[in-house]
Chains A and B, each alone.
Chain A
Amino acid sequence: CTAIIAEDKTGRLFHARNLDFGLFLGWDIKHSTWMVSQSLKPLTVNIDFQRNNRTIFKSVTFAGYVGMLTGVKPGIFTVTMNERFNLDGGFVGIIEWIFGIRNSVWIGFLIRSVLENATSYEEAKNELVETKLISPAYFMLGGNKSGEACVITRARETCLDIWELDLKQGMWYLVETNYDHWNKPLFVDDRRTPAMKCMNKITQEKISVPTIYDVLSTKPVLNKLTTFTALMNVAEGTLETYLRDCPNPCVPW
């Protein structure tokens, strides 16, 4: 996955992501694609969660998957999650759960609860930082005020790092893939460098929903695992989701 949060010169925040999933879960030789990624595309749905006929939050998910990995609470915050691969991974949390240690929360369920119940950027941030998790993760959280954006690097039990937007230092965007931001990505899986290169080329003056879509359409940020691209604008409360394909030649991840 690749997620980007960026702030333009007027203080508007944009949050976007490519959801990549299905690595090593069967390669379809005929169509030159990953089988699970291909099967997830027609299941992708945008959902308007309502209570008393009023929108509580909007999210993109897969039909039948009740947790959320991407969503916007209009006017308040946006959130996405990227997988964090670790030996102390989700299977350990699941085994603990099976053996009755149930003080951890499933990630998709946590994000949905945060979208449903948190009433501010700070409240959402606290929940994502402090809750014990079944599996490690990266949470990208964007608010609705200038400078309100961060990447939260989580181990299952603790928060390892909070990486904040820092406009005074010229850091007007954050890019997160599937690696700790203080470490280099695996050299065969570096989507961070091309994404940052494109963001730097666009500049803060020209950042917008269309130009972020350009970044997420650039290989290898777009790759054979990319199921959809989601674009969110917190102030307007909008969520746009586009199903993606990466015809050959295209990198497999």
Chain B
Amino acid sequence: RAQDVPPFTEDCRSGTYPPTGPTFKGNASWYIVNLDLPPEERWNSIIKDKKVELFNLIQVIKDFIKVFDPAGKIIGLVDDELPLILDSLPSPFLEEIKGIAAVSETPLGEIIFYNIFYELFTV
């Protein structure tokens, strides 16, 4: 039972595969991205399926930012300025991001922010 108390390092798990039980939340679904399509259209089917989930994630991030910035200045900056500043993102990524923003009906700045999130959090 030492596995279940800090520092959680006494027991190595075994027999967990194929995944089942409380640590398994399901399989990731498969999609095809056709690189022969124009970049703006490549993610359409995925985004149509995941529109609500994408909206929910962006809302969680916006709610988190609002705790520190109740006036919403940061979100305003992301929505209005980020598309101008980062319009120089390389092709085909910027075109793909623009397509995703259009299909998800999300401000372009917020989709750009989501796509650079990993870089931002390396501090």
B28 touches A246 (CB 8 A): no
B123 touches A85 (CB 8 A): yes
Identity of the chain A residue whose Cβ is nearest the Cβ of B97 in the assembled complex: A66
Majority DSSP secondary structure for residues of B touching A: mixed
B4 close to A (CB within 8 Å): yes
Alpha-carbon separation in the docked complex, A147 to B121 (Å)? 33
B35 touches A135 (CB 8 A): no
A50 touches B24 (CB 8 A): no
Interface centre among A41, A105, A202 (most CB of B within 10 A): A41
Alpha-carbon separation in the docked complex, A26 to B29 (Å)? 27
Partner of A94, one of B9, B25, B32, B120: B120
Partner of B9, one of A84, A107, A220: A220
Q: A49-B33, A251-B6 are in contact. Are A90 and B120 (CB under 8 A)?
A: yes
A83 touches B115 (CB 8 A): no
Determine the interface band of chain B, counting residues with CB < 8 A from chain A. Answer: 35 or more
In the complex, the number of residue pairs spanning A and B with C-beta atoms less than 8 Å apart equals 214
B54 close to A (CB within 8 Å): yes
Alpha-carbon separation in the docked complex, A85 to B122 (Å)? 5
Q: A218-B11, A222-B23, A242-B24 are in contact. Are A35 and B60 (CB under 8 A)?
A: yes
A51 close to B (CB within 8 Å): yes
A241 touches B12 (CB 8 A): no
B110 to chain A, nearest CB (A): 10
A residues neighboring B (CB under 8 Å):
21, 25-26, 35-36, 39-52, 56, 60, 63-67, 69, 83-87, 89-91, 93-94, 97-98, 102, 105-109, 116, 134-137, 190, 193-194, 197-198, 201-202, 209-211, 213-215, 217-220, 222, 228-229, 241-247, 249-251
B residues neighboring A (CB under 8 Å):
3-9, 11-19, 22-36, 43, 46-47, 49-50, 53-54, 56-57, 60-61, 63-64, 85-86, 88-90, 93, 96-97, 100, 104, 111, 114-116, 118-123
